Amino acid sequence: MTTPIPTREDILNRARNMVPVIRARTKQADELRRMPDETVEDFREAGFYRILQPAKFGGFELPYGMQTELAMELGRGCASSAWDASITACHAWLGGMFAPKAQEEIWGDDQNSMISTSFRGAGYQAQATDDGIILSGRWKYSSGIRHCDWIILAVDVPRDGESRPDSVLALVPMSACRIEDSWYASGLTATGSNDIVVENHLAPNYRILNVMELRGQETPGSAINPHYNYRLPLHGVFSFNIIGSAIGAARLTLDSVVDGLSGHVSVTSASVAEQPSVRLRISEARAATDAAHALVMKNLAEIWDLGGSGEVPAMEQKLRYRTDNAFAAKLCLQAVDIIYPLLGARGLNADDPANRAWRDVHAITNHIALTWDVQGILHSAHMLGFPSPDPRI
């Protein structure tokens, strides 16, 4: 009997039910600096890692943005866990754009196979040959790498006689990699975003994907995966993979502060919750978080409408998504920063849920894809008639 594919609401309900479970594991996760094995298995059984995986290989092939909503829910319990679920799920989406032979290697024998990525090289060599690219070196910040079977590495390959290298993504089996335990972070502490070292590995041509093929068009993988997900522009919509965790963590901070202040009396015997300034801070934080959520969901609805009619986002939309997601991140920062002082002494405890969530929001919004100073100018430049500064968009 075939197991029915879960719906959007099925996935979100499973995430809501998981919130108290992962919240209870946050201390263990922080001590491990990675996801506990129990959480990885829970997420696997819930189907979180397969929400964007191609249907041809046992995935649910739900609409792009499902990972964003998933992280919004899970982030109320643990932002690191939410980040892991969303990021690992999006890697299956990216894997669905590779050549069919590469996809067969990923999922042909094991439909539970998972993929990590590293888009940040830290000293490597890439030599192009007729058969593929020989890789040696180090890449950083590979989230969730310890429970993945493959990794996608961002690589710049020099071209003879050309000043600009080819930017490609190379799919590499974890059997060819060495993990270096390097993730010691104050925020997103449990994402296990460690370094990867590769030595003299040949990535064959069919495991290589040119970034210029990922701007919103047919991809090598869309030949067997006709869903619009696998024609979406990577750098135009990537930040939807990480903004959900920030919104979820901002909501956790707000909920924790409100719960802590309910009925709280200060040393002056006055109710803190009765102070107008306290209520203003809470209202502003709530409105900022809701505004971030609404902005993200508005743009996702646009992507769903476009996909339903067989279209992909145009340049104006791609740049707007990047700017809007960075602004949503800015709103999340505003929300947690304005209510953090209300925590009082308990906010100094590293194990406090609001303290942890505050650190997590700051960590998430440090990602360059959500950095306002970088992303904030993109859409306005387009409005003023300037071309995109990034040829990959």
Q: What is the mean pLDDT of residues 364-373?
A: 96
Per-residue pLDDT tens digits for 172-196: 999 999 999 999 999 999 999 999 9
Share of the chain above pLDDT 70, in %: 97
The residues that bridge with 178 in the sheet, in sequence order, are 197
- Confirm or reject CATH 1.20.120.420 for domain 234-383, answering yes or no: no
Could you list the beta-strand ranges (E) of 183-323.
194-204, 208-210
197 Cα distance to chain centroid: 22
Kindly indicate the confidence band of residue 360, based on its pLDDT and cuts at 50, 70 and 90: very high
**Residue range 20-40: mean pLDDT, rounded:** 97
What distance in Å separates the CA atoms of residue 217 and residue 210, rounded to the nearest whole number? Answer: 13
pLDDT in tens, 73-90: 999 999 999 999 999 999
Sheet holding 150-157, edge to edge: 115-118, 150-157, 166-173, 208-210
Higher confidence at residue 161 or residue 17?
Answer: 17
- Residue ranges of domains in the chain: 8-107, 115-214, 234-383
Just give the CATH number of 8-107: 1.10.540.10
Residue 338 pLDDT exceeds 50: yes
Copy the structure tokens of residue 19: 């919130």
Q: In sequence order, what DSSP letters do the residues of 11-39 get, joined into one string?
A: HHHHHHHHHHHHHHTHHHHHHHTS--HHH
10 Å Cβ neighbour count for 346? 14
pLDDT of 106 strictly over 90: yes
Give 54-72 pLDDT, tens digit per residue.
999 999 999 999 999 999 9
Whether residue 29 has pLDDT greater than 50: yes
Residues 290-299 have pLDDT tens digits of: 999 999 999 9
Contact criterion met (CB below 8 Å) for 332 and 246: yes
pLDDT at 375: 96
pTM of the model: 0.95
What distance in Å separates the CA atoms of residue 176 and residue 139, rounded to the nearest whole number? Answer: 13
- Considering only residues 2 and 225, tell me which one the structure prediction assigns the higher pLDDT: 225
Distance CA 62, CA 76 (A): 22
Task: Kindly give the interhelix angle for 276-308 and 315-339, rounded to the nearest 10 degrees.
Answer: 160
Answer yes or no: CATH 2.40.110.10 is held by domain 115-214.
yes
